[in-house]
Amino acid sequence: MGGMGTRRRAGLAVGASVLVLLAGFPAQASAGHPAAPVRTITTGLDGPYGLDLLSPRTAVVAEGDTGEVTTVDLRTGKQKTIITGLAAPSGVAAHGGKIYVLLGGEPVPGAKYPAGALLVADRTGKHVRVLADLMAYELKHNPDGQRQFDDKNQPYDALSNPFSVTWTKWGLLVSDGGANDVLRVDPRTGRVSTFFVPPNPHTKECLAPGAQANPGTVGCDSVPTGVAVRGRYVYVSTLGAEQPGAAVIYQLDGRTGRVVHKWPGFTSLTGIAVTPRGTIYASEVLFGAPPGEEPPPGFDPSTVGRLTRVDHGRTTHAAVTMPTGLRYVNGHLYASSWSIASFLGIAKAGRLVDVSPKAFR
């Protein structure tokens, strides 16, 4: 467990120093990087994290800051709220006439649904119910083996804090950043099982004193975030406890969860998508955020974040502001951007964008 704990708001982990940093950014809703070929589909979203396609023309987005699930017409940008009243929705997936929604964040007293739940609804957002309780699974099984509670029965860090969900032919796959695992959920019965537990990164920063949230843990938490599927492989991105170079992309056997390949050395990955020819796209939400407790004078928050493309050994990047959710469909790479704008004091700054291959350099 760990890595996405009490400092996490509306489904995204941000370290304490970065929270202070972002709080000091000027509250201006910049358009981001106008020179890059990035088409804005819609604006005015609040904490857009996970996204998926409900149909070839319609995207569905989890808005963590407002507790809503929203559909977006990919041609016109028109929005429609289909689910409301959720506590910190983070991930969303659509398949077979159903929508699956993850609830991250901290437990909220009086909330209709428990934190750490995977919900299911019909494609219109009606008939919402709990499909699986991931917090209950973590408390019972604790797949990463870390200590959960101190001597006063208080959790050392987040127990369960799921971030993304993806439908696959092997079941729903959920990345739980708090539990440090990827879980498989049967979409019919809600049965939960462990699919993959990423190892703790052992970079210099992760081995430094104080980098570990839990006693006895060696290295910092992996904090899995994005999950994508392509053919017989599953791809998982990790946050790496926000430590420089500690984030990893894993290629896994979709049936067994065995590691086939990995790409290390990234920082703060939050989303992943893969094309039919095996090109990998990943979002680095905090790339370019300056270190320290205070931002330098005149720092432009629109420069924080980028997308990374790994194309058969060649790595390039595109300037997209604070991206998280990614989806590649029919030659289009869709991304949620300005996803953590609320940390800047900017409401409704979130966007859904279509990123051209020409954006990567």
**Closest-CA residue to 178 (of 153, 201, 160):** 160
Q: Is 39 helix (H, G, I), strand (E, B) or coil?
A: strand
* pTM for the structure as a whole: 0.90
Say if 7 falls within a structural domain. no
Name the amino acid, one letter, at 132: A
Strand partners of residue 172: 167, 185
Which residues, in sequence order, are CB contacts of 236 under 8 Å at separation 6+?
175, 182, 196, 198, 224, 226, 227, 249, 250, 252, 272
Q: Which residue has the tokens 């990123």?
A: 355
CA 174 and chain centroid, separation: 10
Burial of 111 (0-12, 13-18, 19+ CB in 10 A): middle
| CA angle, residues 263, 252, 137, in degrees to nearest 5 | 115
Say if 9 falls within a structural domain. no
Average pLDDT over residues 206-226: 92
Say if 149 falls within a structural domain. yes
Say if 96 falls within a structural domain. yes
Give me the CATH number covering residue 232. 2.120.10.30
Q: What is the pLDDT of residue 107?
A: 77
Say if 138 falls within a structural domain. yes
Contact 184/32 with Cβ under 8 angstroms? no
- In the sheet where 269-274 sits, what is the strand order? 269-274, 280-284, 306-311, 314-318
Tokens, residue 224: 């899995």
Element (DSSP H or E) covering residue 299: none
Residue 196 and residue 224: Cα distance in Å, rounded? 10
**Closest-CA residue to 50 (of 226, 190, 287, 230):** 226
Q: What is the pLDDT of residue 343?
A: 80
Which residues, in sequence order, are CB contacts of 7 under 8 Å at separation 6+?
13, 14, 15, 16, 19
Domain count, the chain: 1
Over residues 11-30, the pLDDT tens digits come to: 333 333 333 333 333 333 34
Under the banding of pLDDT at 50, 70 and 90, the label for residue 298 is confident
- What size, in residues, is the chain? 361
Say if 3 falls within a structural domain. no
Residue 158 and residue 131: Cα distance in Å, rounded? 21
Say if 278 falls within a structural domain. yes
Q: What is the pLDDT of residue 2?
A: 57
Q: What is the pLDDT of residue 25?
A: 39
Task: State the pairing for strand pair 58-63/48-55.
Answer: antiparallel
Q: Evaluate if residue 4 carries a pLDDT over 80.
A: no
**Helical residues (DSSP H) of 62-133, grouped into ranges:** none
Over residues 240-291, the pLDDT tens digits come to: 999 999 999 999 999 999 999 999 999 999 999 999 999 999 999 999 887 7
Q: What is the pLDDT of residue 292?
A: 67
Q: What is the pLDDT of residue 293?
A: 63
Say if 199 falls within a structural domain. yes
Over residues 136-195, the pLDDT tens digits come to: 999 999 999 999 999 999 999 999 999 999 999 999 999 999 999 999 999 999 999 999
Range of the domain at 51: 16-359
241 phi, psi to nearest 5 deg: 55, 25
Average pLDDT over residues 216-225: 94
Under the banding of pLDDT at 50, 70 and 90, the label for residue 6 is very low
